[in-house]
Amino acid sequence: MAAFKKSTAREYFESIVIAVILALFIRTFVVQAFKIPTGSMEPNLLIGDHLLVNKFVLAPTLTRLEGTLLPIDDVRRGEVIVFKYPEEPDRDFIKRVIGLPGETVELKGHDLLINGKAISEPYAHYTQPVPDEGELSLDVRSKYGPVSVPAGHYFVMGDNRDNSQDSRYWGFLPGSYIKGRALMIYYSYEPDEAVGSGAGLSRLPSLVGQFFTRIRWSRLLHQIH
């Protein structure tokens, strides 16, 4: 009896199906791409940055055995995470973890206090000067708390502290809304409004000129901290 042999067309078809399944699995459970649309994380993440987010490392586990065997991490302060916006779960936000469950968070001017102790924040960026004592109570950007982070929740803020819609405005982030940890910038380009005319640019075909002038080459493959 002759051995069964697959046709070339069927082999191609099966290879494509397997590749699509693997791509969907990776996108759904392991790594996903996101684009930065606003300046809330400037200057560390810029409008036009495209990120890869590790969705697996912060995934929930059903048993202690899973947490032991799989490379799952706890959420840590200082990490940049992507999550479902609590007020509109269909939208994705990106912020930095500031307060962990059970901690007390307080903001005084440009100072962050966790459990009453000042925390160093080299990533924080401010566009406004430190307000005087009489102005501290007028704006949550400079005076907030103290508040206690509930169990299973997190307090998150953008690095651009004077221009970020974050936990200071909409409250605590449920842990179940976290989608993953930001890993690296795989692509970055200047948005239209940030591109200058540039002498001699009109001599190049528009698409070629934009390709070479808009890409932020120094940010490619940049790890996110």
Catalytic residues: 40, 95
Tally the residues of the chain. 225
Phi, psi for residue 69 in degrees, rounded to 5: -85, -35
